[in-house]
Amino acid sequence: MAKKMSVDTLLRRLQHEINTIRKLKPEDMDQKIFKLYLEKARVMGYLASVMSQIIEKHELEKRLEKLEEIIEKQWRGVA
């Protein structure tokens, strides 16, 4: 199973890819290879967007569960 990725890990990975792509000089390399790098960058951007949404929803879900536990404990204390 894949290792869980945190927001920090995702950001580090994306920063690494951004730096790699930023250093590319299309005039110094084969155009097909350059286009492949750009395609990879597009895919990474899309996956990062999806993953960040998943992470955010998961974190919100955990916070909601904690709130529900607190409310239930308080409700039991009143009843």
pLDDT digits (tens, 9 = 90+) for 26-53: 888 899 998 998 898 888 888 888 888 8
The answer as to whether 3 is a domain residue is no
Domain count across the chain? 1
In the three-class reduction of DSSP (H, G, I as helix; E, B as strand; rest coil), residue 33 is classed as helix
The answer as to whether 1 is a domain residue is no
The answer as to whether 29 is a domain residue is yes
The answer as to whether 74 is a domain residue is yes
Only one residue has tokens 């890990």, namely 9
**Predicted confidence band of residue 13 (pLDDT cuts 50, 70, 90):** confident
Residues 5, 51 contacting (CB under 8 angstroms): yes
The answer as to whether 4 is a domain residue is no
- The share of the chain scoring above pLDDT 70, in percent, equals 96
For residues 46 and 74, what is the distance between their CA atoms, to the nearest angstrom? 42
On average, the pLDDT of the chain sits at 86
Residue 45 domain boundaries? 11-78
The answer as to whether 35 is a domain residue is yes
The answer as to whether 2 is a domain residue is no
